[in-house]
Amino acid sequence: MQTPAHAALGDLLSYSGERTLLAGTLVRVPLGKREVLGVVWGSRPMAEEDAALEFKPLGTALDTLAPLGEAWRDLVAFAARYYQRSLGEIALAALPPQLRDLSGVQLARRLKRQGSAPVVDAGAAGPSAAAAATSDEQADALRRIDAEPGPFLLFGSTGSGKTEVYLQAVAALLARSPAAQALVMVPEINLTPQLEARFRARFEGRFGAGAVVSLHSGMTNPQRLASWLAAHAGTARIVLGTRMAVFASMPALALIVVDEEHDPSYKQQEGARYSARDLAVWRGRREGAKVILGSATPSLESWHQSRPPEGDDPGGRYLRLAMPSRIGAGALPAVRLVDMRLQPSKTVLSGVLLDAIGQRIARGEQSMVFLNRRGYAPVLACGDCGWKSECPHCSAFRVFHKIDRTLRCHHCGFTERVPRACPACGNPDIAPVGRGTERLEEHLGELFASVQRPDGSPVRIARIDADSTRKQGALESQLAAVHAGEVDVLVGTQMIAKGHDFRRITLVAAVNPDGALFSSDFRAPERLFSLLMQSAGRAGRDAAYLAAQGTTAEMWIQTQHTDHPLFIALRRHDYPAFAESELAQRRAAGMPPFAFQALLRADARTQEAAQAFLNAASAAADALEGAQQVARYPAVPLAIQRVANVERAQMLVESASRAALQRLLAQWQPVLHGLRRTPEGKGVIRWLVDVDPQQI
C-alpha cells in the first residue's frame, strides 16, 4: 500500500485490514500522527510470519469510488521509475487535492452529482456547431490518423487548421465508440478557455453538458475534483487540460492530443520533473490510445522521431503528417531583418520599424512589439561609484519596476522601494540601464505622443506581461481590449506570442532577440526559432481583413546578426531547414536527440559543499554496473548560481543509450540517499535528479 508522503523510491507501506481491497482502491491510512490519502497497490492474506510484525490498521476505504485502473497505476509507476521519484509523490501530484479531505459519503454525493449531469447518447441530437468542411490536407491527415496506429506528429503551420483536425479526430472517435474518452492537452492555462469554448460548441449539443471538462492548476479545488470525478467515472468524454491532465484517470481513454507539443511548459520544472508530452506517448502505447502531437515548430526530438525511412535508416517511430497551407489566413508574413549594427548606438527602435508601425496606425491596423524582459529596466546603476541593484540574496540584479518604484528580484522575490540616492555613495543620480517591457511601453508612448489615429484621437499603447496580468481576470480583459480594436500597439513578453487569434494585427516586431543566439543552453536557438515563428503567426491571421485593408502582414526583427542561419531559415518560414541544420550540429556534438541526459543538482550553503556532493556522487557511480556507458561531466555552478542565499551546482550525466542511462540512475538513487549521511553530503540542503532536462 502506498501513501503519498514523500519518501524514498519504492516506498510501499503495509497495513492490516479486515477485508481484501482491490488494487487501485483509494484509502485513508495513518502515517505518524496524521491520516493521509493512499492508493492500494496490492494486497494479500496475512501469512504466519506476519504475526510478529505489527501492522497499523488501515483507515477508511473510499470504495464508493471505482478503484484506479491498472493502466493508471502503470503510468504512475512508470513515471516514478523513469523520473526517479517516489510512487507516492507522483500519485499525490496526479490526484486532486480534495480527495484528501472528503469522506467516502461526501465523495459518493459529488460523484452522483457528476453522474446525473444530463448525458445524452451519441445520435440524440442537440444543436452543435458544425464542423468545417475539411481542406484536402486536413482530410488526408484525418484519413491517416484513422488508418494507422501512430503516434502522429501533425506538422502544420500556424492557422493551418490543426485544431480543426483535433476536433474532427475526436468527433470520429466518439461517433465510433459510445464510451470512448479523449484527452486534449495545451501548454498554458491561458489557452484553455479558448479551446474549451471550441470543444463545448462542437460537442455539448450532441453529448450533453458535462461531456467536456477542463483540468488545470488555475481551477479551484472543488472544480478540479468535479472534473477529475467526471473523467474517472467516464461521464466526461473529453478532458482538456495542461500538463497535469496527463495523469487524469480515464478508464476509456482512446485518443490523446498534445497541442504545441514543442512547448517547454510540458516539462514540469519543480518537484517531480516529468514531461507530460513524453508520458502522453507512453500512456498512449500502454492503453492502445492514439496519440497526436501537433506543432508548427516541433521539438527536435519529435521531428527526429518522425523522420521518414531512408537508406539503412528505418526512420522514426512517429508518423509525420504535414499541413503546410494556412486556411483563411493571408500568406505568412514577410520577415524583415533590421541590421542594428547600422543604427546609431543605443537605438532601441529603429527608424524604419517606427515608420512601419506609424503607417499601420494611420490605417487603423494593430501592431505587436515584443521583448522578453519584463519590468522597466533590468538594472539600476550609479554612474559615480559603479553600484548596481544586485539582489543581496541571489547572484542576479534586481529589476527596476517604475510603476510602483520598486526593485524586485525575479528569482527570490526580494522587493524594496527604490532608494532616493545611491546606497553606496549618496549620488542622487542613479539611472536605469537596459530596457524591459514597461520602459518600452513608455518609450513608444513618447514617440507616438504627437501622432494621431485616423479619427484624430491619440494613439493607444498597451502592455501585457506577467506584471500587467497579476490580478484575476486581468489577462482576459486586456486580451478583450486588443480583440475589440481598443489598442493600436501592444507591447509584451512571449505571453502574447502564443496561440491568440488576433484578427487585426498586421505587424509583429521582435525588438532584441539576439541573446538566445549565444546562450550556453544548447536548446536556446530552438526555443527562439519557435517563438519567432509563433509570433509571426500572430500577424495577418485574417486574409479577408488584409485584402480589405489592401495591406500585407510583416514580421520585423532587430538584430546584430542578419546573416545568422536561424534568421535566414525564419525569413523563408522554413522550419525543416532550421531543424536539419540544428540536428546536424546536435549529431556532430553528440547531443539530444542523439544522446540522453540527466542532471544531478545539489543545493547547499556554499558552492564548495554543493560541488563536493556532486563529485562524491560521481566517484561513487564509477563502481555501478554499466557506469562506463554513461559520461559524467564536471560539477558546475548553475547560470544563476545563488538564489535566496542557496548555492546551486549541477552535473550533467549523458549516454548514447537511454536504457544505460536509466540503469545507472536507478542504481545511483540509493547511493545518493546514502551519501547524504557522509561528510560530503552533510552540507547539502537538497538534491534532485532531472531526467531529460529542458534547461541546461
Residues at the binding site for Zn(2+) are: 382, 385, 391, 394, 409, 412, 422, 425
Q: Please report whether residue 544 would count as binding ligand ADP according to CB under 6 A.
A: no
With CB under 5 to 8 Å by kind, the binding choice for 468 among ligand ADP, Zn ion, none is none
Could you tell me the three cell numbers for 17? 485490514
Using CB under 5 A, pick the residue from 5, 165, 349, 409 that binds Zn ion. 409
Cβ atoms of 414 and 398 within 8 Å: the answer is yes
Q: Please report whether residue 159 would count as binding ligand ADP according to CB under 6 A.
A: yes
- Specify the amino acid at residue 461: I
Cβ atoms of 257 and 166 within 8 Å: the answer is yes
Could you tell me the three cell numbers for 660? 544505460
Residue 673 phi/psi, 5° resolution?
-60, -45
CA dist 566 and 304 (Å) reads 18
CA dist 140 and 148 (Å) reads 12
With CB under 5 to 8 Å by kind, the binding choice for 160 among Zn ion, ligand ADP, none is ligand ADP
Instruction: For ligand ADP, give the closer residue by CB, 137 or 692.
Output: 137
Smallest gap, in angstroms, from Cβ of residue 601 to Zn ion? 18
Return all residues near 247 (Cβ < 8 A) that are at least 6 apart: 72, 75, 76, 79, 90, 93, 94, 279
Using CB under 5 A, pick the residue from 198, 402, 411, 460 that binds Zn ion. 411
Q: Please report whether residue 160 would count as binding ligand ADP according to CB under 6 A.
A: yes
Q: Please report whether residue 414 would count as binding Zn ion according to CB under 5 A.
A: yes
Count of C-beta atoms within a 10 Å radius of residue 501: 15
Smallest gap, in angstroms, from Cβ of residue 135 to ligand ADP? 5
Q: What is the DSSP annotation of 213-256?
A: EEE-TTS-HHHHHHHHHHHHHT--SEEEESGGGGG---TTEEEE
Smallest gap, in angstroms, from Cβ of residue 537 to ligand ADP? 7
How far is CA 460 from its chain centroid? 32
With CB under 5 to 8 Å by kind, the binding choice for 138 among Zn ion, ligand ADP, none is ligand ADP
Instruction: For ligand ADP, give the closer residue by CB, 162 or 360.
Output: 162
Cβ atoms of 254 and 179 within 8 Å: the answer is no
Count of residues near ligand ADP by CB under 6 A:
15
With CB under 5 to 8 Å by kind, the binding choice for 69 among ligand ADP, Zn ion, none is none
Smallest gap, in angstroms, from Cβ of residue 286 to Zn ion? 42
Using CB under 5 A, pick the residue from 58, 92, 258, 422 that binds Zn ion. 422
Instruction: For Zn ion, give the closer residue by CB, 414 or 594.
Output: 414
Q: Angle 136-141-143 (CA atoms, 0-180°, nearest 5)?
A: 95
Smallest gap, in angstroms, from Cβ of residue 538 to ligand ADP? 11
Cβ atoms of 412 and 394 within 8 Å: the answer is yes
Instruction: For Zn ion, give the closer residue by CB, 416 or 442.
Output: 416
Instruction: For Zn ion, give the closer residue by CB, 218 or 419.
Output: 419
- Look-up: residue for cell 557506469? 627
Could you tell me the three cell numbers for 89? 509523490
Of 313, 354, 117, give the one whose Cα is nearest residue 229: 117
Could you tell me the three cell numbers for 417? 522601494
Smallest gap, in angstroms, from Cβ of residue 138 to ligand ADP? 6
Cβ atoms of 162 and 323 within 8 Å: the answer is yes
Instruction: For ligand ADP, give the closer residue by CB, 119 or 296.
Output: 296
With CB under 5 to 8 Å by kind, the binding choice for 421 among ligand ADP, Zn ion, none is none
Q: Please report whether residue 584 would count as binding ligand ADP according to CB under 6 A.
A: no
Smallest gap, in angstroms, from Cβ of residue 637 to Zn ion? 16
Using CB under 6 A, pick the residue from 4, 38, 151, 161 that binds ligand ADP. 161
Q: Please report whether residue 424 would count as binding Zn ion according to CB under 5 A.
A: yes
* Greatest alpha-carbon span in the chain: 91
Of 620, 615, 600, give the one whose Cα is nearest residue 687: 600
Q: Please report whether residue 331 would count as binding ligand ADP according to CB under 6 A.
A: no
Using CB under 6 A, pick the residue from 149, 288, 308, 328 that binds ligand ADP. 328
Query: Tell me, what DSSP letter sits at residue 16?
Result: E
With CB under 5 to 8 Å by kind, the binding choice for 393 among ligand ADP, Zn ion, none is Zn ion
Using CB under 6 A, pick the residue from 89, 164, 196, 287 that binds ligand ADP. 164
Annotated binding-site residues read: 382, 385, 391, 394, 409, 412, 422, 425
H-helix or E-strand containing 664?
Answer: helix 658-675
Show the binding pattern over residues 126-145: x = contacts ligand ADP (CB under 6 A), - = does not: ------xxxx--x-------
H-helix or E-strand containing 371?
Answer: none
Q: Please report whether residue 192 would count as binding ligand ADP according to CB under 6 A.
A: no
Instruction: For Zn ion, give the closer residue by CB, 179 or 644.
Output: 644
CA atoms within 13 A on the CB side of 286: 19
With CB under 5 to 8 Å by kind, the binding choice for 161 among Zn ion, ligand ADP, none is ligand ADP
- Look-up: residue for cell 461526501? 106
What is the three-state SS of 471-526? CCCHHHHHHHHHHCCCCCEEEECHHHCCCCCCCCEEEEEECCCHHHHHCCCCCHHH
Instruction: For Zn ion, give the closer residue by CB, 411 or 443.
Output: 411
Q: Please report whether residue 406 would count as binding Zn ion according to CB under 5 A.
A: no
Of residues 378 through 397, those in contact with Zn ion by CB under 5 A are: 382, 384-385, 387, 391, 393-394
Rg (CA), the chain: 27
Give contact residues for ligand ADP (rule: CB under 6 A): 132-135, 138, 156, 158-164, 327-328
Give contact residues for Zn ion (rule: CB under 5 A): 382, 384-385, 387, 391, 393-394, 409, 411-412, 414, 422, 424-425, 427
